[in-house]
Amino acid sequence: MRPTAAITLAVSLLFSSAGCSTHPITTTDRDFSDTALHEEFAEASVRLYVRRHARLLAVSYAIRTAGTDLCGDAVGPILGIAAWRSNPLFGRPFFEALERIYGVWAGSIAVVAVQPGSPADRAGIRVGDQILHVAGDTVHSDIDLFDRAAAFEAGAIPITLMRDEQEIRVSVEPLSACLPEAFIEIGDLMLTDRARGDHFYVTSGFIRFAKTDDELALVVAHELAHRISGMRVVPGPQVEVRADRLGLYLAARAGYDISVAPAFWDRVALEQPWSLSDDVEHYGWTRVPPHGYMPSRAAAIRKIVAEIQRKIENGEALAPGKD
């Protein structure tokens, strides 16, 4: 093999392994007292979570921008970035690694992913930029950043960044999308529903569990539908089916294959045995809104999927209409 070919192969192997979920480093035969090893591990963890967040960003961006007319009043400017605040939520080694990789400082807000073609991308915002001000106001957290951008109604959004120790001003042309922003949260297979503003969180467990973006789109669109409609008051099959209805239309609008929905939620049901009943009293101690089988929900999902597929075949507009 010629040297250039060997190099090309090595590079392509490097890139092909970058997208897979296997851990890129190992402690086998390594010295555990070696601080370089600790740092390497923490940096690999940052990259792993950035990849997951970038995937969530891509899917949520597609859904939020495709279904604007289905989202009623829950519409506002979208940026198209994932940003993290340097804080100790994921542990000190993680955020020290974040600081090393992205040059962030304590409390600053770093852009970790930019959706190609998004308003942020077109305005020249890049991975590694630190967001200082949005519309003239200092931003104090990632949530603050997205809230200010989403509430801006006066044309292009002025944003001040720090890049290579220099302040840069960019102007983000607004694009309307469904609100709110989707955030990643470390956690298992539960769609968390804690009261934290109007935002919604998709757990890292669900992002892992969704084998394809078509599956992840079901989760994102379902949770977005809950948020749009404020349908979280009473947990149970009816609330879930209403979120499924709007969510499946939102996912289909964005071009995702919703035919995977019944099998996907069946897989979720196996993981959430408390949800194998239509009766809220049967949920057990968890009392979390179920996203598993629920006989009535499973039947409804199949019906809604068939309805949407029929509309697609007939070239009809994809609007959910009345429940």
Give the count of alpha carbons within 13 A of 135, CB side only: 17
Quote the CA–CA distance of 302 and 318 in Å, as a whole number: 16
CB nearer to Zn ion: give 214 or 240: 240
| Ramachandran angles phi, psi of 186, nearest 5° | -75, 125
Q: Which one, 215 or 240, has the nearer CB to Zn ion?
A: 240
d(CA 118, CA 65): 10
**What's the closest the beta carbon of residue 290 comes to Zn ion, in angstroms?**
8
Nearer to Zn ion, 174 or 289 (CB): 289
d(CA 180, CA 184): 13
In the shown chain, the binding pattern of residues 242 to 261 toward Zn ion, with x for contact by CB under 5 A and - for none, equals -x------------------
Tokens, residue 204: 């890292």
Cβ of residue 243: shortest distance to Zn ion, in angstroms? 5
Where in 20-59 is the site for Zn ion (CB under 5 A)?
none
Min separation Cβ 162 and Zn ion, Å: 39
Beta carbon nearer to Zn ion, 115 or 275? 275
Residue 223 Cβ vs Zn ion, minimum distance, rounded to whole Å: 7
Binders of Zn ion among residues 223 to 242 (CB under 5 A) are 240
Burial letters for 167-177: b for 16+ Cβ neighbours within 10 Å, e otherwise? eeebebebbeb
Q: Which residue, 142 or 240, is less far from Zn ion as judged by CB?
A: 240
Q: How far is the CB of 288 from Zn ion (least distance, A)?
A: 10
Phi-psi region of 136 (alpha: psi -120 to 50; beta: other; left: phi over 0): left
Nearest distance, CB of residue 38 and Zn ion, angstroms: 39
Nearer to Zn ion, 220 or 243 (CB): 243
Minimum distance between the CB of residue 234 and Zn ion, rounded to whole angstroms?
12
- Residues 55-114, interacting with Zn ion (CB under 5 A): none
3-state secondary structure of 316: coil
What percentage of the chain's residues is helix, strand, coil (to nearest 5)? 50, 15, 35
CB closer to Zn ion out of 159 and 190: 190
Alpha carbon separation from 196 to 113, 152, 193, 283 (Å, rounded): 23, 21, 8, 24
Nearer to Zn ion, 47 or 242 (CB): 242
Reduce the DSSP state of residue 113 to 3 states and report it.
strand
**Smallest gap, in angstroms, from Cβ of residue 183 to Zn ion?**
16
End-to-end CA distance of the chain: 64
Quote the CA–CA distance of 299 and 178 in Å, as a whole number: 28
> Is 127:112 a contact under the CB 8 Å cutoff?
yes
Query: In the complex, which residues of this chain contact Zn ion (CB under 5 A)?
Result: 240, 243
